[in-house]
Amino acid sequence: MIDTTLNPTPEEPEIPYEAARDELVGIVTRLESGGISLAETMTLWERGEKLADICQSWLDGARARIEAARSDADTSQP
Tens-digit pLDDT profile for residues 62-77: 999 999 999 887 787 7
Residue scoring higher pLDDT (1 or 50):
50
- pLDDT reading at 4 higher than 60: no
**How do residues 25-45 score in pLDDT, each as one tens digit?**
999 999 999 999 999 999 999
Average pLDDT, the chain: 85
Q: Which amino acid is at 78?
A: P
Cα-based distances in Å from 53 to 15, 47, 56, 58: 11, 10, 5, 9
Q: How far apart are CA 49 and CA 78, in angstroms?
A: 46
State the pTM of this model.
Answer: 0.73
